[in-house]
Structure 1
Amino acid sequence: MSFETPLYLCGPLREPRQMLADQEYSGHTSIHDDSMAEKLGFKAGPIEGPTHFSQFAPLLVELWGQAWFERGCFSAHFQNMVVEGEQVRAFVERPAPGATRVRCWAEKADGTPVLEASASLGPDHGETLLDQRMAKLRAPEKLVILADLHVGMTGKQDEPVRMDAEQHMGNLYPFSLKDKLERITENTPWYADPASTPWGSAIIPMEMVSVLAEYSSKLAEFPVKQPVIGLFADQEIRMVDGPLLVGEDYLIRREIVALSESKRTESYWVRSRIYDAQGETLKAEMLLNHATLKHSYPEYEAEANS
């Protein structure tokens, strides 16, 4: 006997930890600082969105095994902020036999949505959630904070990056991978013990791929007006020839692929391509919607009305 009832995998309730309270950029604290968040109308500094990606790893490995770390893509739209002390649970649709794309989502303990996502296994990912969202973007009417940006703009230089276990990741990410692994919601020896992995090296967790891909982003010198506060609204991390390895040198090239606007934000969508150290073999990509808060830019009204 068989049923048409859709079934899902879900993980346990977890309390993700806030690790960006001391984050700084452009000479000021970020939305993850409690006092800054309160000034902007939020109850406390939110936990960074990709922190929640770790809760999906055990579920997706259950579906696709180690191939998830090599060719997996997680494409997410963040819906509601989470603050430390709140509990979150991850859900993944159980795929039909042979399917390589599933729907995912996360909820707080009371059912409040945290994020919606698609997860897929390459090389043929089909249309991801963010592909769908970008296809629906309307051209912005008038950009102020992002007035000097344009689609197709690339970073000023190739950015050499790496992540060692005890490497402090700078003002944007004031902690190390070792610090993160002491607080990560879902841990595995593969994140720290080279001898335990199929690749002969410890691997970088997907939530820390976000850190690797973003901590050197100031080198791109995209001309975003300052001071302004931003947040991650959408994020996709895609392994092409993964996983990314701890202690390995990589090269990042960035490109603005979309500009958009909402009532409260101006957004620039950046695709960051992560290559091997020689810049020849594409290893992974990150698509990130940087949403800048209009009311955090002191000159917004004056420039918008000029």
Structure 2
Amino acid sequence: MPFETPLSLCGPLRQPQQMLADQEYSGHSSIHDDSKAEELGFRAGPIEGPTHFSQFVPLLTHLWGNAWFERGCFSSHFQNMVVEGESVRAFVELPEQGATRARAWAEKEDGTPVLEASASIGPDHGPTLLEQRMERLRPPEQLVILSDLHVGMTGAEDEPVRMDPDQHMGNLYPFTLNQKLEKITEGSPWYADGSASPWGRPVIPLEMVSVLAEYSSPKAAFPVKHPVIGLFADQEIRMVDGPLFVGEDYLLRREIVALSESKRTESYWVRTRIFDASGQTLKAEMLLNHATLKHSYPHYDAERTAG
């Protein structure tokens, strides 16, 4: 080629819809509730970060075909919140021919960054964006909300999960897959019609892998202090032997792989491994940075001082 100019694929502007306004955990509303968000200093309840992942799937399928659903990894750092009514566009930089990794990002209509990400095809992904970010984490100075957690801590039990089309996904996700498919930004017959899917089964959408993986998360019983408000700051979803299917039984195992701190948050990074129902075959993984807002915990200052 006579030029070295980097080129990118971009999707259309979309307006993702809020489906977590009624989310509840630990007996209180979440940051996705407008009044709770305003109480914490945000202008409105944000769209959940993984919602934006759907906008990338057509672009990544264009690059890598069905392999994206089987061995793809999307590793994302969320930069700015999006509220309902705002428009977002997804971008993926075109990799060189034969390359298995690409840079990706999303922007609001005015150019405000929403997220940055790496997208790759396995099994050799190289260091993902979040693996690189984790390498740069500094040890936290003094944890309060997360003082009882430690790296290497695992969930209290194995968690059997599944996602059926009309299954209500609990207080954390107060909707069904079918309700999501009515509002998803990038619909596909592969998500609902097994006869249309290359695998003969309906596929769980990328953004709903987060729902599957977090559906049973209270069973992990990680000793996070409450009441506290949290948000997703970083998230990686990796298919190992994908895709994941609607109506299929899976087994989840969780482990805390990092702890970190910023001026406003304390974070625990959890790797959730998704196995087949027997617990023998690894199907997918999710790495999630749960960032807890320090000022949302009413005893934060007193406990830190008592230290």
Give the TM-score band, short-chain normalised.
over 0.9
SS in 2 for 1:226: coil
Q: After TM superposition, give the deviation of residue 200 of structure 1 in Å.
A: 1.2
Give, as a single letter, the amino acid of the residue that structure 1 aligns with 2:190: W
TM-score (norm 1): 1.00
User: What is the distance in 2 between the residues matched to 1:2 and 1:218?
Assistant: 55
Give the 5 Å matches for 1:65-80: 65-80=65-80
> How far does the alpha carbon of each residue in 1:255-278 deviate from its partner, in whole angstroms, 9 at most, with x for none?
000000000000000000000000
Give the 5 Å matches for 1:1-306: 2-306=2-306
User: What is the distance in 2 between the residues matched to 1:3 and 1:216?
Assistant: 50
Give, as a single letter, the amino acid of the residue that structure 2 aligns with 1:109: E
> How far does the alpha carbon of each residue in 1:99-138 deviate from its partner, in whole angstroms, 9 at most, with x for none?
0000000000000000000000000000000000000000
User: What is the distance in 1 between the residues matched to 2:41 and 2:210?
Assistant: 26
Give, as a single letter, the amino acid of the residue that structure 1 aligns with 2:124: D
User: What is the distance in 2 between the residues matched to 1:157 and 1:2?
Assistant: 57
User: What is the distance in 2 between the residues matched to 1:279 and 1:200?
Assistant: 23
User: What is the distance in 2 between the residues matched to 1:198 and 1:9?
Assistant: 24
SS in 1 for 2:183: coil
SS in 1 for 2:155: coil
SS in 2 for 1:182: helix
SS in 2 for 1:237: strand
Over the residues paired in the alignment, what is the CA RMSD in angstroms? 0.4
> How far does the alpha carbon of each residue in 1:182-201 deviate from its partner, in whole angstroms, 9 at most, with x for none?
00000110000000111111
User: What is the distance in 2 between the residues matched to 1:5 and 1:224?
Assistant: 48
SS in 2 for 1:305: helix
> How far does the alpha carbon of each residue in 1:53-92 deviate from its partner, in whole angstroms, 9 at most, with x for none?
0000000000000100000000000000000000000000
User: What is the distance in 2 between the residues matched to 1:293 and 1:48?
Assistant: 16
User: What is the distance in 2 between the residues matched to 1:47 and 1:198?
Assistant: 31
Give, as a single letter, the amino acid of the residue that structure 2 aligns with 1:295: H
Q: After TM superposition, give the deviation of residue 215 of structure 1 in Å.
A: 1.0
User: What is the distance in 2 between the residues matched to 1:9 and 1:137?
Assistant: 31
User: What is the distance in 1 between the residues matched to 2:286 and 2:53?
Assistant: 13
Q: Where does structure 1 lack aligned partners over 5 or more consecutive residues?
A: none
Give, as a single letter, the amino acid of the residue that structure 1 aligns with 2:157: Q
User: What is the distance in 2 between the residues matched to 1:269 and 1:2?
Assistant: 44
SS in 2 for 1:19: coil
Q: After TM superposition, give the deviation of residue 2 of structure 1 in Å.
A: 2.1
> How far does the alpha carbon of each residue in 1:202-229 deviate from its partner, in whole angstroms, 9 at most, with x for none?
0000100000000100000000000000
Give, as a single letter, the amino acid of the residue that structure 1 aligns with 2:97: P
User: What is the distance in 1 between the residues matched to 2:210 and 2:277?
Assistant: 18
SS in 2 for 1:271: strand
- Percent identity, please: 80
User: What is the distance in 2 between the residues matched to 1:43 and 1:100?
Assistant: 39
User: What is the distance in 2 between the residues matched to 1:41 and 1:215?
Assistant: 28
TM-score (norm 2): 0.99
After TM superposition, the runs of 4+ consecutive aligned structure 1 residues lying more than 2 A away are: none
User: What is the distance in 2 between the residues matched to 1:197 and 1:48?
Assistant: 27
Q: After TM superposition, give the deviation of residue 176 of structure 1 in Å.
A: 0.4
Q: Where does structure 2 lack aligned partners over 5 or more consecutive residues?
A: none
